[in-house]
Amino acid sequence: MFSPLALRRDIAVLCASLLLCLSFLSAPTARADDRGFQDWIREFRKTAIAEGISPEVFDRAFKGITSPDQWVLDKASYQPEFKAPVWQYFDNRVTKGAVRRGQAKKKELQPWLDKIEQRFGVNPNILLAIWSIESSFGAILDNDTVMRNVIRSLATLAYADPQRSKFGRQQLLAALEILQSGDIDESHLMGSWAGAMGHTQFIPTSYLAYAVDIDGDGRRDIWNSVPDALATAASLLSKNGWRRGETWGYEVTIPDRKLPAGELTLADWQNKWGVKRANGKPFPRPNDKAELKLPAGRDGPAFLMLKNFFVIKRYNNSDRYATAVGLLADRIGGGSGLVHDWERPFTPIDSTQVEEMQKILKAKGLYKGEIDGKAGSGTRGAIEAFEKSIGVEVQGYPSKEVLEQLRKH
């Protein structure tokens, strides 16, 4: 039977990622307004019922929700002070800690990972890397400061953020449909400020399109069932063209001359243009087509990206994201890492040493963030404050030199 919700969902899945990734060009203009928000809920109730949501489900979902979530609006309007350099992006995601935890989770979940790979054909290491990057292997789900009521968050965006109102309405209808399906109840429907949910951070429309109940309990539970969450990620990749048994890309060396854009076979890249694997091994499938990517320009690592790289981008439409997933997956699978590392203007330290740095900075009252081994803007700001306090050049880099200074002072 024709379902308006189903039609709306199919359309929404195609555009939701683009809507979510809009640049922060303008902050939400409306602020927390209880009376106007309650009027909006009453009007939206009519829309939801017309789209197939039962009055009972709607009323349960909005029970106790009387005002917008100001925290959501603050997150939506936040504009980073600087664009993270390439090395920082990868240093914060492809870490020794993430590799160790990924390998431990792989042993723990091997039977489920085998079952998921058999069904969907997706390399388990890729799924573990996505899980790590999306939720730190589920750790964020226990963080009450970032996990919010999905219904309230999306209603806040739909009502109070002109830039994301369409996205908020689409995702809110999908979230109500999830509640109506019985996969989760309203008290456990938690997610990020933008409604990304569960271990693998699916927005509601994507959940409806790809969610899987692989553990057989009758519910597609990406919040509490790691097998369901990983299978759901595999379902997304599989339905978007994942090629079973193939990799995502190769680190390569490039000659000092202009190289063509677009796709060529691996054989042509090597034989006609002198692009070779960085580890000196031959390409196992020379007729596969690949595109050259230089995330940090000619001075950084170079990659020939295959079809599966672009499938990963259907999860998050970012070259950096897809590259980080691939690199972390390779490390979890036992790979040794990059042959040609990222160029950094300092001597790098690993995530364990960054944690030590954060602890010292926190003890000095300079750092207020989490001890997570990730050198984000808070850590760099604290480093700058420390450098200023001891009278050295202020750079803000999480370097070996700064760590040594911290240990002395």
* Residues 89-134: tens digit of each pLDDT: 999 999 999 999 999 999 999 999 999 999 999 999 999 999 999 9
CA dihedral for 318, 320, 326, 332, sign (positive or negative): negative
Query: CB–CB of 189/154 below 8 Å?
Result: no
Task: Give the pLDDT of residue 33.
Answer: 67
- Helices first, then strands: H and E counts in the chain: 18, 7
Q: Render pLDDT for 124-173 as a digit per residue (tens, 0 to 9).
A: 999 999 999 999 999 999 998 899 999 999 999 999 999 999 999 999 99
| Six token digits for residue 100 | 């160790």
Which amino acid, one-letter code, is at 47? T
Task: Give the pLDDT of residue 144.
Answer: 86
Query: CB–CB of 257/48 below 8 Å?
Result: no
Q: Is 108 exposed, middle or buried (0-12, 13-18, 19+ CB in 10 A)?
A: exposed
Secondary-structure percent of the chain, ordered helix, strand, coil, rounded to 5: 55, 5, 40
Counting as low any pLDDT under 70, the low residues of the chain are 1-33, 79-82
Assigned superfamily of 4-81+140-239: Bacterial muramidase (1.10.8.350)
Task: Give the pLDDT of residue 84.
Answer: 78
Beta strands in 150-293 (DSSP E): 190-191, 249-253, 263-265, 276-277, 289-293
Query: CB–CB of 73/32 below 8 Å?
Result: yes
Q: Return the DSSP state at 142.
A: G
Q: Render pLDDT for 216-246 as a digit per residue (tens, 0 to 9).
A: 999 999 999 999 999 999 999 999 999 999 9
Query: CB–CB of 340/300 below 8 Å?
Result: yes
Task: Give the pLDDT of residue 1.
Answer: 42
pTM, 2 dp: 0.88
Q: Parse the chain into domains and list their residue ranges.
A: 4-81+140-239, 249-332, 351-408
Task: Give the pLDDT of residue 290.
Answer: 98
Own/partner pairs for 318-321, CB < 8 Å, 24+ apart? Answer: 318/21, 319/293, 319/295, 320/86, 320/89, 320/90, 320/295, 321/133
